C-alpha cells in the first residue's frame, strides 16, 4: 500500500479526511502488537512506604440503617464519616480531629436519598482520601 501525504495537484478526490482515515486504520491495525508486547512484561508493583509499627491506619466501617459510618484512627488522629439515609434525604457528616481538637467538622444535606451503591462509593472515596492524605505527610 502506497500512501501519499503530500499535496497532489493531479489527483482528484484526495482529501485530508481520507488521509486521516487511512492513518487511523494503520494505527488501529498496529494496536494489538503494542498491547501484546506491553502485556508480556508485567509492571513492577508500586513502591509503598509502610508506616512504622503502631502507626498503621485502623479502619472500621459500620452499617447504620440505610447508610454507613467509617472511623479511621492513626495515633492521636481520627477521621470520621457518617452517611445517614432517610426516605426523604441524605445527611453526610465529616470530622477530623487530633487529640481533642477538631480540625474539620462539616455536614451536608442532600435533598434525596442516596442509593446503596452511592453510599459505598462515598465511603470508599473517603477512606482513599484519608490514605492519600496520610501518605503525603
33-43 pLDDT, tens digit per residue, is 444 444 444 54
The answer to the question of residue 103 being in a domain is yes
**Radius of gyration over every alpha carbon of the chain, rounded to an integer in angstroms:** 27
The answer to the question of residue 17 being in a domain is no
Please determine, for residue 11, whether its predicted confidence score (pLDDT) is greater than 70: no
Query: What per-residue confidence (pLDDT) applies to 2?
Result: 52
| pLDDT (tens digit per residue) in 43-61 | 444 443 444 444 789 999 9
Range of the domain at 65: 58-136
The answer to the question of residue 46 being in a domain is no
Position with higher pLDDT, 115 vs 22: 115
The answer to the question of residue 5 being in a domain is no
Q: Nearest 10 degrees: CA dihedral of 58, 131, 119, 116?
A: -70
In total, how many domains does the chain have?
1
Give the cell for residue 13.
Answer: 478526490
pTM of the model: 0.59
The answer to the question of residue 52 being in a domain is no
- Residue 37 phi, psi (nearest 5): -70, -40
Q: Is 68 left (phi over 0), alpha (psi -120 to 50) or beta?
A: beta
- Residue 51 phi, psi (nearest 5): -70, 155
The answer to the question of residue 97 being in a domain is yes
The answer to the question of residue 12 being in a domain is no
The answer to the question of residue 2 being in a domain is no
| pLDDT (tens digit per residue) in 106-126 | 999 999 999 999 999 999 999
Amino acid at each position: 500500500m502506497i500512501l501519499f501525504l503530500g499535496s497532489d495537484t493531479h489527483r482528484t478526490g484526495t482529501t485530508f479526511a481520507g488521509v486521516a482515515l487511512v492513518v487511523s486504520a494503520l494505527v488501529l491495525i498496529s494496536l494489538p502488537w503494542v498491547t501484546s508486547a506491553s502485556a508480556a512484561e508485567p509492571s513492577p508493583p508500586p513502591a509503598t512506604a509502610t508506616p512504622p509499627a503502631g502507626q498503621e491506619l485502623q479502619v472500621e466501617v459500620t452499617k447504620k440503617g440505610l447508610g454507613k459510618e467509617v472511623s479511621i484512627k492513626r495515633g492521636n488522629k481520627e477521621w470520621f464519616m457518617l452517611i445517614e439515609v432517610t426516605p426523604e434525604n441524605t445527611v453526610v457528616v465529616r470530622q477530623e480531629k487530633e487529640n481533642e481538637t477538631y480540625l474539620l467538622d462539616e455536614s451536608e444535606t442532600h435533598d434525596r436519598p442516596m442509593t446503596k451503591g452511592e453510599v459505598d462509593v462515598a465511603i470508599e472515596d473517603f477512606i482513599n482520601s484519608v490514605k492519600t492524605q496520610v501518605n503525603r505527610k
